[in-house]
Structure 1
Amino acid sequence: MELLITYDVDTTSPEGQRRLRRVAKACEGIGHRVQKSVFEVVCDPGQRLRLEADLVNIIDPCVDSVRIYQLNRGTFAAARHLGAAVAPPHHGALII
């Protein structure tokens, strides 16, 4: 499945800044960063559940927001990139 993950973490406190780093690290472990707070992810249902559980445990639901959009397969391949955008190799090996 293909997922588009976006997030907005309140960074007005040191705890918020730590949460932001932890959210980014969790997403980097499974997907490709395409903008500062946007990741494209190709995963199976089990990986999605693990990622969502990790994110729920990281964020403060009172001030942070994570949005996960499930897209049709092939959406990333059909995306148009303008400017300095880079097309990540979604179906290649993910090296961390």
Structure 2
Amino acid sequence: MELLITYDVNTETAAGRRRLRRVAKVCERFGQRVQLSVFECVIDQVNLALLIDALEQEIDVEQDNLRLYRLQEPRKKYVTVLGKPLEHDQREPLIF
């Protein structure tokens, strides 16, 4: 499944800034950053559960907000990108 993750972490304190970095690192393990606090992931049910568990361990539920949206497929039909495209579409193979 394709997933969009957005987050708003309270960064008014040093602890909040650390949470922000940790949330971003968790998201980077599972997907590709498309904007500052937005990631796209191609993920299966097992990894989705791991992702949610990892994010729940990092956030402060009283101060932070994370949203996970499932994208409809075919994605090209439902998502319009304006401006600079991604450097690499994570659904395409990497060949070195």
TM-score normalized by the length of structure 1: 0.87
- In 1, Cα distance between equivalents of 2:71 and 2:89: 17
**1:18-64 CA deviation, whole Å, 9 max, x = no partner?**
00000000000110100000000001000000000000000000000
Other-structure match for 2:19: 19
- In 2, Cα distance between equivalents of 1:93 and 1:60: 36
Equivalences, count? 93
Other-structure match for 1:49: 49
Moved more, 33-42 or 64-73: 64-73
Task: Describe how 1:1-96 pairs up with structure 2 within 5 A.
Answer: 1-75=1-75, 77-78=76-77, 79-86=79-86, 88-93=88-93
Kindly state the Cα deviation for residue 89 of structure 1 after the two structures are TM-superposed: 1.4
- In 2, Cα distance between equivalents of 1:33 and 1:71: 15
Kindly state the Cα deviation for residue 72 of structure 1 after the two structures are TM-superposed: 1.9
Counting aligned pairs with the same residue, the percent is 45
Paired residues of 1:81 and 1:87 also in contact (CA < 8 A): no
Larger Rg: 2
- In 1, Cα distance between equivalents of 2:34 and 2:28: 11
- In 1, Cα distance between equivalents of 2:12 and 2:30: 27
Amino acid at match of 1:5: I
- In 2, Cα distance between equivalents of 1:63 and 1:69: 20
Paired residues of 1:3 and 1:68 also in contact (CA < 8 A): yes
Distance 1:37 1:17, change over 3 A: same
| Runs of 4+ residues deviating >3 angstroms | none
Return 5+ residue gaps in structure 1 as ranges.
none
- In 2, Cα distance between equivalents of 1:41 and 1:6: 11
Distance 1:19 1:93, change over 3 A: farther
